[in-house]
């Protein structure tokens, strides 16, 4: 097996810097569209054969060092009892936002196999089909990020209702987050049992929090998830990706994660300094740098590799998801460049 990714997560020696790309299974690939056209986005998430197919596509096409389960962070919320729709142009919508005690009480904790079996089946198919070619990453959203969707009723710019609950109804907020955390622990334990070999926790919106609010309203729930998972197994590395979290690195370091994912707004050498060898780091090329001419793309990749020098382990990635307009050839070139430029002489 290509263990480069797993070794880098744990700070073990590697021959070259491994790379995978957030949203590597997705709309920039014509092969993805072929499968996607068979139904809705949620249909694709819920059809294990198809979800597995698009998961494997970038492994074959780009040559990345890890596969990541094709799914969406919101699917477990639907099974908590919050109906979910994906509307064209509007994105995910929860038509009934969760904003009062009764709504929080009504939420349940889904069972991974009984309620989210399609995700577990996708993982099992993938482990069989990947046949140890590269490791498989499972994932979930982080509780704060998941809560914003439930409270706002979908995506948000101001996160007004979420912060109102934090500030004006902190006990209700805490109870909601506790429930989401319990759900996430069960969901990720299910993914481990089904065969996930690493896990990433996406805190996509946490960058809207002041550091003191992160400490109170987001980090404790992440820490509880990681503590529970580590009690289950120490074999599965955990990546915590706090998007736009450049000012939260000192705190994220205490999450218990093996790897901190970094968005493109930070200098990795500054992150290396802050984490001081305690964790590995992942990231963080600006996603649109994939549109640079090849010579400048090479320079940019070299810069990221240079900045990450001194890390206990470095997994190359973009600082956010690859955008749909990206030329797959450029993504392929980036993977090739990361591999060749980083290879130990």
Exactly one of 16, 36, 174, 269 is catalytic; name it. 36
Nearer to a copy of itself, 163 or 339 (CB): 163
Catalytic, 121? Answer no
CA-only gyration radius of the chain, Å? 19
Phi, psi of 2 (to 5 degrees): -75, 100
Catalytic, 309? Answer no
Largest CA distance in the chain: 62
Exactly one of 16, 27, 175, 269 is catalytic; name it. 27
Catalytic, 127? Answer no
Q: Where are the beta strands (DSSP E) in 183-290?
A: 198-203, 238-242, 259-261, 280-285
Is the Cα torsion angle 313, 71, 177, 198 positive or negative in sign? Answer: negative
Nearer to a copy of itself, 124 or 267 (CB): 267
Catalytic, 27? Answer yes
Contact between 7 and 312 under an 8 Å Cβ cutoff? The reply is no
Contact between 77 and 150 under an 8 Å Cβ cutoff? The reply is yes
Q: Which helix (H) or strand (E) holds 304?
A: helix 294-308
DSSP type of residue 289: G
> How far is residue 122's CA from residue 35's CA, in Å, rounded to a whole number?
15
Least separation, in Å, of the C-beta of 164 and a copy of itself?
6
Nearer to a copy of itself, 122 or 330 (CB): 330
Strand partners for 136: 67
Altogether, the residues listed in the chain come to a count of 345
Exactly one of 28, 32, 65, 72 is catalytic; name it. 72
Least separation, in Å, of the C-beta of 104 and a copy of itself?
20
CA atoms within 13 A on the CB side of 141: 21
Exactly one of 28, 65, 115, 149 is catalytic; name it. 149
Least separation, in Å, of the C-beta of 214 and a copy of itself?
9
Nearer to a copy of itself, 183 or 266 (CB): 266
Catalytic, 344? Answer no
Nearer to a copy of itself, 162 or 280 (CB): 162
Least separation, in Å, of the C-beta of 264 and a copy of itself?
5
Contact between 48 and 121 under an 8 Å Cβ cutoff? The reply is yes
Least separation, in Å, of the C-beta of 251 and a copy of itself?
10
Q: Which one, of 97, 218, 195, 110, lies nearest residue 152 by Cα?
A: 97
- Which residues sit at the interface with a copy of itself, rule CB under 8 A? 158, 160, 163-164, 167-168, 207-213, 244, 246-247, 264-267, 270, 286, 288-289, 291-293, 296, 300, 303, 319, 323, 325
Nearer to a copy of itself, 85 or 213 (CB): 213
**Is residue 250 packed enough to be buried (19+ CB in 10 Å), middle (13-18) or exposed (0-12)?**
exposed
Instruction: Give the catalytic positions in this structure.
Output: 23, 27, 36, 72, 149
């Amino acid at each position: 097996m290509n263990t480069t990714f797993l070794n880098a997560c744990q700070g073990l020696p590697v021959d070259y810097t491994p790379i995978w790309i957030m949203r590597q299974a997705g709309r920039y690939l014509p092969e993805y569209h072929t499968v996607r056209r068979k139904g809705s986005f949620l249909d694709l998430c819920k059809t294990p054969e198809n979800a597995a197919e698009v998961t494997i596509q970038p492994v074959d096409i780009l040559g990345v060092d890890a596969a990541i389960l094709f799914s969406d962070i919101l699917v477990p919320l639907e099974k908590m009892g919050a109906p979910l729709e994906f509307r064209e142009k509007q994105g995910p919508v929860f038509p009934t936002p969760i904003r009062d005690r009764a709504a929080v009480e009504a939420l349940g904790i889904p069972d991974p196999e009984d309620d989210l079996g399609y995700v577990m089946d996708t993982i099992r198919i993938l482990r069989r089909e990947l046949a140890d070619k590269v490791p498989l990453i499972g994932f979930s959203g982080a509780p704060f990020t998941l809560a914003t969707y439930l409270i706002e009723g979908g995506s948000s710019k101001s996160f007004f209702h979420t912060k109102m609950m934090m500030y004006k109804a902190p006990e209700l907020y805490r109870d909601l987050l506790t429930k989401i955390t319990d759900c996430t622990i069960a969901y990720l334990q299910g993914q481990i049992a089904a065969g996930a070999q690493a896990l990433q926790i996406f805190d996509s919106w946490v960058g809207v929090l002041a550091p003191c609010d992160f400490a109170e309203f987001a980090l404790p729930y992440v820490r509880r998830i990681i503590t529970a998972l580590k009690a289950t197994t120490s074999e599965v590395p955990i990546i915590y990706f706090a998007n736009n979290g450049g000012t939260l690195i000192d705190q994220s370091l205490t999450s218990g994660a093996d790897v901190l994912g970094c968005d493109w707004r930070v200098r990795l050498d500054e992150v290396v300094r802050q984490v001081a060898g305690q964790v590995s780091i992942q990231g963080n090329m600006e996603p649109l740098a994939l549109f640079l001419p090849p010579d400048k793309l090479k320079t940019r990749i070299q810069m990221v590799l240079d900045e990450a020098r001194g890390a206990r382990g470095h997994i190359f990635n973009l600082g956010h998801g690859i955008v749909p307009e990206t030329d797959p050839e450029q993504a392929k070139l980036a993977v090739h460049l990361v591999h060749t430029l980083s290879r130990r002489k």
